[in-house]
């Protein structure tokens, strides 16, 4: 069974950046097979990882909805969807990527979310690590995109608004009885001791801080991949020091 590391947090806190950095570090450690899951309808994890996403789950469901005749005679619809989603996994050197996306037609993306949730249970066992970049806010928890995780990383900035949102995510995960073995707060862009002391008053375990990183800013401005930033980048150095708590069994 794969080891699941899931990201949560309000928009703009750096969840996708953190997910990509964790994929990079797991790849560096040669920890085993890795599946990076972009469960955010506003998908950009593949781009940050420097790869091109294949078909998204949203596109697959749109196509099946428009062309039901593509489902082979005698094959259940769910089985065909699972096969198509498996084919949409982008295989890369050291990690694979699966992208949720959103339907292009009318209606919400709840069906896309359900399809992702259903196939995840089967895919998890095929990888040593699964890193999930969830959408911003609380919706993915209320829809149970993340049914369970070995580690839930709630990402925040050092603002009171950000920390309040992080605490609410923590509370909601408890209310929904989502199975989480380890839960941490990780703060982006916090450098002063006074800020750190305020953060330590959060209602669950404070993991640490990722400092402001010029390398990441440069990659974001130029549309570059986080897989190519320098190994001595400040964020990577900090995350290496925190990593053993995130994946303690290594």
Domains of the chain: 3-246 (3.40.50.300)
Burial of 54 (0-12, 13-18, 19+ CB in 10 A): middle
What is the C-alpha to C-alpha distance for residues 154 and 170, in angstroms, rounded to an integer?
8
* Residue pLDDT tens, the chain, 250 long: 688 899 988 888 889 999 999 999 999 988 899 999 998 877 789 999 998 887 888 888 888 888 888 889 888 888 888 888 888 898 898 999 998 877 665 555 566 667 667 777 777 788 999 999 987 765 555 455 556 788 999 999 888 888 888 888 888 888 877 788 889 999 987 765 545 666 767 888 888 888 888 888 888 888 788 998 888 998 899 999 888 788 764 4
Burial of 53 (0-12, 13-18, 19+ CB in 10 A): buried
DSSP state of 67: -
Residue 125 token pair: 């066992």
Give residues with Cβ within 8 angstroms of 114, minimum separation 6: none
Alpha helices for 67-192 (secondary structure H): 77-87, 110-123, 139-142, 160-175
Half-sphere exposure of 85 toward its Cβ, with a 13 Å CA cutoff?
Answer: 27
pLDDT at 198: 67
**Residue pair 125/65 in contact by the 8 Å Cβ criterion:** no
3-class SS of residue 8: strand
pLDDT at 20: 94
Alpha helices for the chain (secondary structure H): 15-28, 45-48, 57-66, 77-87, 110-123, 139-142, 160-175, 193-199, 214-222, 234-246
Burial of 204 (0-12, 13-18, 19+ CB in 10 A): middle
């Amino acid at each position: 069974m794969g080891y699941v590391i899931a990201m949560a947090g309000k928009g703009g806190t750096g969840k996708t950046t953190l997910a990509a950095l964790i994929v990079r570090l797991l790849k560096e450690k040669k920890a085993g097979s890795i599946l990076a899951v972009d469960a955010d309808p506003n998908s950009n994890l593949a781009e940050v990882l420097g790869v091109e996403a294949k078909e998204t789950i949203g596109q697959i469901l749109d196509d099946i909805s428009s062309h039901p005749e593509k489902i082979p005679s005698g094959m259940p619809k769910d089985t065909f969807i699972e096969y198509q989603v498996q084919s949409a996994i982008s295989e890369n050197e050291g990690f694979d990527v699966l992208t949720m996306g959103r339907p292009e037609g009318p209606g919400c993306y709840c069906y896309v979310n359900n399809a992702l949730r259903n196939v995840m249970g089967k895919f998890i066992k095929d990888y040593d690590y699964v890193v999930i970049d969830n959408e911003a806010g609380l919706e993915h928890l209320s829809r149970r995109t993340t049914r369970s995780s070995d580690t839930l990383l709630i990402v925040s900035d050092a603002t009171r608004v950000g920390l309040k949102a992080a605490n609410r995510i923590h509370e909601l995960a408890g209310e929904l009885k989502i199975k989480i073995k380890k839960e941490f707060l990780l703060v982006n862009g916090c450098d002063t001791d006074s800020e750190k002391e305020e953060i330590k008053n959060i209602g669950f375990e404070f993991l640490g801080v990722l400092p402001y990183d010029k390398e990441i800013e440069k990659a974001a401005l130029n549309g570059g991949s986080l897989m190519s930033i320098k190994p001595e980048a400040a964020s990577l150095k900090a995350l290496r020091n925190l990593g053993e708590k995130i994946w303690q069994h290594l």
